Structure 1
Amino acid sequence: MVGLALAVLAATLFAGPAMAAEEKVLHVYNWSEYVPQSVLDRFTKETGIKVVYTTYESNEAMYAKIKLLKGVGYDVVVPSTYFISMMRDDGLLSGIDKSKLKNFKNLSPKVLNQPFDPGNEYSVPYMWGSAGLMVNRKVVDPASITSWNDLNRPEFAGKVILSDDQRDSMGVALKALGYSINSTNEAEIKAAYEWLKKLLPAVRVFDVTASKQAFISEEVAAGLIWNGDAYIAAGENKNLVYVYPKEGVPLWVDSLAIPVGAKHKDNAHKFIDFLLRPDVAKECVEEYNYSTPNVAAQKILSPELAKSRITSPSDADLKNAEFTNSVGNALEIYEKYWEMLKTGS
């Protein structure tokens, strides 16, 4: 009996490391059509780790599910800008171990160390971009469009599109008035509401998912659009031009993060580091046409993307631009005025 017990103990000790190793699987919760299938297949081929890929259509939906599950169930999520700080403050994110990310050095300082995650302790930039102003040259000379206030021009009456994301559209209004898109001052937020209310008769639709098609079909002639969608739209309709208003544009960054309850954190770090490889980052950008925070990848982009001001903006284009950050308790003020705008009160 003693011999049997010792044999069992020895077997357990020798099996320990194997049992402790993570299973070859990774659960990714991400925006739809945001990592090419070819990239996922390459990762699996190189590492043997199977990727289970689940999608969401909004930060709010992702945030609500991760909060409900208390950070359990997924190994990698991709929140935008200030959702990182919200999830961090709620204790939903695990810290990033940069010692496991040999490709972290490829990232641009311009995108790192933002107020929503100082030091990038909880997030690693994946894609970034702007929400700029697109116009149709059949309606107006694009050279004459220099300001968000130009959306009020009579040529655009009934043909303006705005985002149904309150921070994007309220941010544009704040910029038009010379304020920060991250203002917490109620008087400024109210002024932004009044600016949007004045513009409302010219607005055909509030949308964030179909703006690209609305511009291509010329259902709308001016308005807010994400730069990746703008690049595709301009490629399909040569009359479309993307403009950086002088007041500045809202900037966004989608970052890779690890939920606190992730069961495969080593695999998650391997996946994040894989996406930071220049060749992989290049493939992702050329598939979806957003801007890459990866300096090494930027150097090997196709000439079309590298030269495009939509996907590769200059410092002058981004003058006065701001990343959207958390506004804390002032979010309730935004929600109040946004509801008033949408209900016509």
Structure 2
Amino acid sequence: MKKWLTLTATMLISFSVVAQEKVVLYNWADYIPDQVLKSFTKETGIKVEVATFDSNETMFAKLQLVNGKGYDLAVPTTYFIERMKRADLIQTIDKSKLKNLGNIDPNLLNQAYDPDNKYSVPYLWGSTAVAVNTDEIDAKSITSWKDLWKPEFKDQLLLLDDVRDIFVMALKVKGFENNTTNEDEIRQAYEALVELLPNVKLFLSDSPKLPFIQGNVPIGVMWNGETYMAQREMGTMEYVYPSEGVTLWVDSLVIPKGAENVENAHKLIDYILRADIGKTILEEVGNSTPNKATISLLSEEMRNNPMVVPPADVIKKGTYHRDLGEANAIYEKYWQMLKQSKS
């Protein structure tokens, strides 16, 4: 009996160890190929469980609610890393465990939102600009953010359900700085967006490519990766960089403070940083890759696609969001007023 109990206990311990071999990824929808997750599991024995969110605000609120527990990796956008650090929701990354970190373009490292990348590793980056279905609209007729206010686009426009991306568009139209904390300027941007509402058919951030593919909208404010996926499906999409400049952003991998599988989180980060895995991700998801080793593996067509590799002048004129502290509440107030006006 004693021998049997010892054997049973050993089996239970072994089962417990196996059960822990997982990593929980909290990510945007359709933002990592299934084949990457399957190949990671096949190579390492670590299962990847995926939960999704539709906005940075949703992700942040959920991690606050659970005190960073239940998730091992999350994928916030640029300025939310600052906010998550301030809220003590993320932990430092052990770079000694990332042998592929040298693949990352130095130009995307050591940014103001995370000096020396103490808390984050770039996953994908890109822009927010204007997507056009050329079967219905001449892309050459769109050169400025102001063009979206044209009356001929009544009830045809998709806007991302993203407060900062949409307010930046209006701030640029009004001639204001994209990270302004001046409430009068934010209010004027809000008033401009109210004037745009007759053209707005819907707000959407969860797979915003779908209304284009389904024929429900011909024009919208979109991320480059979603436009790329729609183009791959439809063959009639173009991506226009407005003359006033676009929002640039970096989506990064961070480890929540309450992560239970920290070692496995580092293993998944390092796997994603491989050049061949970066290629697989980029070819399915689009956006732009921070992995300089991946670029040489891409087809010439993809390397020359401005949706995937933004032109140098676009990058030069682009701007990043910064966390605005208490002013975030001002934006949120006007954002809710705007969406209530639409409903």
TM score, norm. by length of structure 2 = 0.87
TM-aligned CA deviation for residue 323 of structure 1? 2.0
Show the counterpart of 1:9: none
Alignment-mate amino acid for residue 232 of structure 2: G
Give the Cα–Cα distance (whole angstroms) in 1 for the partners of residues 85 and 315 of structure 2.
28
TM-aligned CA deviation for residue 238 of structure 1? 4.1
Q: Equivalent of 1:319, from 311, 316, 331?
A: 316
Unaligned runs of 5+ in 1: 1-18
Q: Equivalent of 1:308, from 295, 298, 305?
A: 305
Q: Equivalent of 1:207, from 185, 191, 204?
A: 204
After superposition, where does 1:109-128 map in structure 2 within 5 Å? 109-128=106-125
Cα offsets for 1:289-342 (capped at 9, x unmatched)? 221111111221233322210111111123321122211110111122222222
Count residues in correspondence: 327
After superposition, where does 1:154-169 map in structure 2 within 5 Å? 154-169=151-166
Cα offsets for 1:192-238 (capped at 9, x unmatched)? 11211122222222222353232334432322011111112233444
Alignment-mate amino acid for residue 316 of structure 1: D
Give the Cα–Cα distance (whole angstroms) in 2 for the partners of residues 307 and 78 of structure 1.
27
Show the counterpart of 1:176: 173
Q: Secondary structure at the match of 2:316?
A: coil
Pair 1:43 & 2:40 matched: yes
Give the Cα–Cα distance (whole angstroms) in 2 for the partners of residues 66 and 178 of structure 1.
35
Give the Cα–Cα distance (whole angstroms) in 1 for the partners of residues 17 and 118 of structure 2.
26
Q: Equivalent of 2:105, from 103, 108, 124?
A: 108
RMSD: 2.4
Give the Cα–Cα distance (whole angstroms) in 2 for the partners of residues 212 and 22 of structure 1.
37
Give the Cα–Cα distance (whole angstroms) in 2 for the partners of residues 195 and 277 of structure 1.
44
Show the counterpart of 1:87: 84
Show the counterpart of 2:218: 221
- Greater shift, 131-140 or 80-89, is seen at 131-140
Q: Secondary structure at the match of 1:316?
A: helix
Give the Cα–Cα distance (whole angstroms) in 2 for the partners of residues 208 and 34 of structure 1.
12
Alignment-mate amino acid for residue 104 of structure 2: L
Q: Which has the larger radius of gyration?
A: 1
Q: Equivalent of 2:129, from 128, 132, 142?
A: 132
- Greater shift, 162-171 or 273-282, is seen at 162-171
- Greater shift, 201-210 or 270-279, is seen at 201-210
Work out the percentage of aligned pairs sharing the same amino acid: 48
1:141–1:269 distance in 2 versus 1, CA, 3 Å: same
Show the counterpart of 1:233: 230
Show the counterpart of 1:279: 276
1:48–1:167 distance in 2 versus 1, CA, 3 Å: same
After superposition, where does 1:1-12 map in structure 2 within 5 Å? none
Give the Cα–Cα distance (whole angstroms) in 1 for the partners of residues 325 and 86 of structure 2.
11
Pair 1:24 & 2:21 matched: yes
1:33–1:218 distance in 2 versus 1, CA, 3 Å: closer
Query: Would the aligned equivalents of 1:244 and 1:318 in 2 still touch at CA under 8 Å?
Result: no
Q: Secondary structure at the match of 1:110?
A: helix
Give the Cα–Cα distance (whole angstroms) in 2 for the partners of residues 136 and 74 of structure 1.
37
TM score, norm. by length of structure 1 = 0.87
Query: Would the aligned equivalents of 1:174 and 1:181 in 2 still touch at CA under 8 Å?
Result: yes
Query: Would the aligned equivalents of 1:22 and 1:264 in 2 still touch at CA under 8 Å?
Result: no
Give the Cα–Cα distance (whole angstroms) in 1 for the partners of residues 186 and 100 of structure 2.
40
Query: Would the aligned equivalents of 1:26 and 1:51 in 2 still touch at CA under 8 Å?
Result: yes
Give the Cα–Cα distance (whole angstroms) in 1 for the partners of residues 234 and 32 of structure 2.
25
Show the counterpart of 1:66: 63
1:272–1:238 distance in 2 versus 1, CA, 3 Å: closer
Alignment-mate amino acid for residue 152 of structure 1: W
Unaligned runs of 5+ in 2: 1-15
Alignment-mate amino acid for residue 86 of structure 2: D
1:316–1:194 distance in 2 versus 1, CA, 3 Å: same
Show the counterpart of 2:13: none
Q: Secondary structure at the match of 2:315?
A: coil
